[in-house]
Amino acid sequence: MSTLKKIGNYFGFGEEGYEDGYAPEEVRAEQPEEVPETPTIVPSEPEPAPAQVTPIRASVRPVETAAPSTMSRIQTIHPRSYNDAKIIGTTFREGVPIIMNLSAMDEANSKRLVDFSAGLIFGLRGSIEKVTNSVFLLTPENIEVTAEADGEEDSQASFFNQS
């Protein structure tokens, strides 16, 4: 038997074994026969009653939109930079239609502002109409814009695509 196995056996980490794998008859006679263990039945504890659950109120407040009969104004906004997006967003969120004139902005920032406006109208279920190359009309959900009848049935979708 190796020294490590002897040390392990001394500390109780290994089994007493013999080099050839067979124990002498005296050792086998001393070892009791293995008796299968009978399972012990432990009485189970009663399950605790389920806890009372209080529903959580939704912390998100729905966006209030103006009623169709209360529309009394249309806001015209001439943004000069992308920082004016906050004015557009707060005005549109109040349910006010917006005419957005981007003629005073460079092309890169005007594209960013149109993208912002497209996301705004998508989130608040409004619509956006291109009036000219640099003028857009943003309308809330409760306002319908009808285009001139040119004989074409190609109506513009409520989401504006710049490509």
Over pLDDT 90: what percentage of the chain? 15
By DSSP bridging, strand 135-139 and strand 127-130 are antiparallel
This prediction's pTM: 0.49
137, 99 Cβ separation under 8 angstroms: yes
Taking residues 71-76, what's their average pLDDT? Answer: 80
Reported as a single tens digit per residue, the pLDDT across 100-126 is 999 988 889 999 999 999 999 998 889
How many helices (H) and strands (E) the chain has is answered by: 4, 4
Q: Which fold has domain 68-139?
A: Translation Initiation Factor IF3 (3.30.110)
Cα 143 from Cα 127, distance rounded (Å): 9
Confidence grade of residue 133 (pLDDT, cut at 50, 70, 90) = confident
Closest CA to 126 of 116, 140, 142, 136: 140
Task: Tell me the two tokens of residue 140.
Answer: 């809330």
* Domain definitions of the chain by residue range: 1-31, 68-139
Q: What is the pLDDT of residue 51?
A: 77
Least confident span in 8-12, 24-28, 128-132, 133-137: 24-28
Least confident span in 2-6, 20-24, 32-36, 154-158: 154-158
Confidence grade of residue 66 (pLDDT, cut at 50, 70, 90) = low
Q: What is the pLDDT of residue 18?
A: 55
Half-sphere exposure of 163 (CA within 13 A, CB side): 0
